[in-house]
Structure 1
Amino acid sequence: MLASLMQDWSQSALAVTDWKKNVIAAGFGLFRATRLHRIAGDLLRGRGVILTFHRVRPAPSDPFQPNALLEITPDFFDAVLTRLRETGLAIVSLDEALSRLVTGEGGPFAVLTFDDGYRDLIEHVLPALERHEAPATFYLAPGLADRTARLWWVELEEAIRRLDVVELNVGGVEIGLLATDVAEKAEAFERLRLLLREAGEERLLGAVAALAAEAGVDGRALVEASCLDWDDVRELAAHDLVTIGAHSLTHPRLSALPVEVARAEIAGSRARLEHELGLPCRHFAYPYGDVAAAGPREFTLAAEAGFASAVTTRPGMIFPDHARHLRALPRLSANGLWQDLAFLDVLLSGAPFFLWNGGRRVNVG
């Protein structure tokens, strides 16, 4: 009975996800067709924008790419940097953006931020930043540099890529899904991602580890191949264009943790980075960062840990009132499913977020 209920829930959640994607696509189409986003002018753009990136690398040839939303190509990244300045946004460091926000001085700005700490930062991102003389903030989880934390979403992708049938035990409930072709693999990944997201950190990691072991996937090797090590981090930290921020110790969903564990993840990541790099670590990014992952409790913990700012993934532009909520800043995600400058123009207008947030400029509840 419980297995049936969980299957029904995952099907419903998948339908909601598909519905959201269709709504987003329809919304982009409407703005592009009507150019309504241009009518608002600067009214909805606010003081600026903080952009979120993860991976920047050439598009893989394998058609099964369930984490494609987390990566863009180097060519598109280069085009984004050019377009930002064409729209009148100065690409500034996070510290400069906070100064402009608090003092009200300076023109509109864009801040570039990268989460997790992939090797792409050295291979593809840093050369582009140097060409454009554009500063950026890299939010790193020390556990990934240590090879003790896991990229569970990549483990899940690799396991499903290798399996034709996905069988998984989640909290004592057996789940079975076919994965014989790209479509079935994509559906299996999304169903499991949604289901495991609700299962809690321990069950999520345990279930993915079991599936990875069955498929012969080495989670540590994936992190080794994908993420910066400490020598890489030190190299980046010494660069004039780079600011290193913290992203928790092990990249958990902080809201699901007991308060003392969440506090240790947040404060511990700052202490570890400062110890390894010999530099102050002033900025934090909440893992996952959406409403379900980070809320007022986490905002308070980030302030208690001494961070000057902390960013979410709640969508929105930066407005003057955000000066009173520096540990709950919104970001605009560079989604790999929408690598089109016309879509970027719509997002930079601020119009979609005005609608998304129900007319509120600040969403910190």
Structure 2
Amino acid sequence: MTGQLKRLAKRVAIGAGLEASWLIASAGLMREARGRGVVFTLHHVRPHVSQAFEPNAHLEITPAFLDAALRRLTREGYRFVPLDRVPALLAEPEGGRPFAAFTLDDGYRNNLEHALPVFERHQAPFTVFVSQGFAEGSHSIWWETLAVLLRSRNEIRFDFGGGRERLALDRPQQQWNAFDRFAAYIHRTDEARAVAAIDSLARENGIEPTEIVRELVMGPGELQWLARRPLAALGAHTISHRALARLPAAEARIEMQVSADYVEGLTGIRPDTIAYPYGTPQAATAREARIAGDLGFSVAVTTQPGLPAAASTAYLPRMSLNGFYQKRRYVSALASGIPLKLMGR
């Protein structure tokens, strides 16, 4: 089975699970699965522009869907809370209204342009996690670079470690295959070197990766303006957005600490929340949770699906508002916790 077919099969399976979860929740069953609340992950919030090759479509939702999600949660009795209040809420006696906290990773400009007005309309607090290298334009976002590069060329040549080879890019399937190979290359080799090699390839083909970052990500002035909005908070997201678990402990610690220093320098307030880059079990482990605790972070979030618990605030799961599943009933399904039970978690 090709990578594209595997992705399609996974999407169909997840969609079916969400449909089943919504039906179960609508019937009033498995109410005990809901838990105390939910923390949602978002990335881009912007009007959708359809393209034949969209490797990052899962990372974006529309402003209309965000608005619908907030309306749905309000109707179901959720209270919207800042992320840094989650530990205190989890320590309270059970029985209160469920809570929902919203987080947005990487600091995209559309968070300010499109997400902020929606959150303000619903009086919903939110946290934007800032990577210093992205905000300063000193580090590229490899998945965004690849999306532009692979769409714009009929072929490229690259050395994945066995010699320079040609990759045909005439069809979306070939573009997907190439994207998968680059992603695997980044995650199996030294990440900084791999990203630098992709940046060089992009420049060979007339694409400047840091220009993509500056176009997509808020700069320091915009972040400062956003941080002054009553509902907004900034959290740490490392310097370079590398998988921390693959770094030596001292380097991972520096990435986390300097990122907090950077946010404090922008806002005058030291962040007590951090998001682990990628947030997978391979990218963030118990070691990173211990470092986060040592550095004084009260909340550290992964991208692993789950509902928050008092014992896991240094390794908090989140539920993704994913671009492939932009239906109001799926928001209810995710918040219900039932998909987790169906997955055996």
**TM-score w.r.t. length of structure 1:** 0.88
Residue pairs, 1:12-91, within 5 angstroms: 16-31=6-21, 35-38=23-26, 39-91=28-80
Aligned residues: 343
Task: Quote the residue 2:107 is aligned against.
Answer: 117
In 2, the alpha carbon distance for the partners of 1:50 and 1:117 equals 17
SS across alignment from 2:307: coil
Shift of 1:206: 2.6
Please give the per-residue CA displacement for 1:254-299, whole angstroms capped at 9, x wherever unaligned.
1111111111001111112112321121100001001111110111
Structure 1 unaligned blocks of 5 or more? 1-10, 360-365
1:130/1:29 Cα in 2 relative to 1: closer, same or farther (>3 Å)? closer
Look up the equivalent residue of 2:323 and give its one-letter code.
G
CA RMSD of aligned residues (A): 2.0
Shift of 1:146: 1.2
Task: Quote the residue 1:232 is aligned against.
Answer: 222
1:233/1:62 Cα in 2 relative to 1: closer, same or farther (>3 Å)? same
Q: 1:329 aligns with which of 316, 336, 339?
A: 316
1:216/1:310 Cα in 2 relative to 1: closer, same or farther (>3 Å)? same
SS across alignment from 1:114: strand
Residues 169 and 175 in structure 2, CA contact (< 8 A), matched pair in contact too: yes
Residues 170 and 203 in structure 1, CA contact (< 8 A), matched pair in contact too: no
In 1, the alpha carbon distance for the partners of 2:46 and 2:272 equals 28
SS across alignment from 1:113: strand
Matched, 1:214 2:201: no
1:175/1:202 Cα in 2 relative to 1: closer, same or farther (>3 Å)? farther
Task: Quote the residue 2:88 is aligned against.
Answer: 99
Task: Quote the residue 1:196 is aligned against.
Answer: 186
Q: 1:340 aligns with which of 321, 327, 335?
A: 327
Task: Quote the residue 1:141 is aligned against.
Answer: 131
**TM-score w.r.t. length of structure 2:** 0.93
Look up the equivalent residue of 1:25 and give its one-letter code.
G
SS across alignment from 1:52: strand
Please give the per-residue CA displacement for 1:37-70, whole angstroms capped at 9, x wherever unaligned.
4443431110000000000011114332111100
Structure 2 unaligned blocks of 5 or more? none
1:173/1:323 Cα in 2 relative to 1: closer, same or farther (>3 Å)? farther
Please give the per-residue CA displacement for 1:290-317, whole angstroms capped at 9, x wherever unaligned.
1111110111111111101100011011
Residues 41 and 102 in structure 2, CA contact (< 8 A), matched pair in contact too: yes
Task: Quote the residue 2:306 is aligned against.
Answer: 316
Residues 162 and 215 in structure 1, CA contact (< 8 A), matched pair in contact too: no
Please give the per-residue CA displacement for 1:59-110, whole angstroms capped at 9, x wherever unaligned.
1143321111000111111111111111211111113332211223642100
Question: Quick one: percent identity of the two aligned structures?
Answer: 36
Residues 14 and 191 in structure 1, CA contact (< 8 A), matched pair in contact too: no
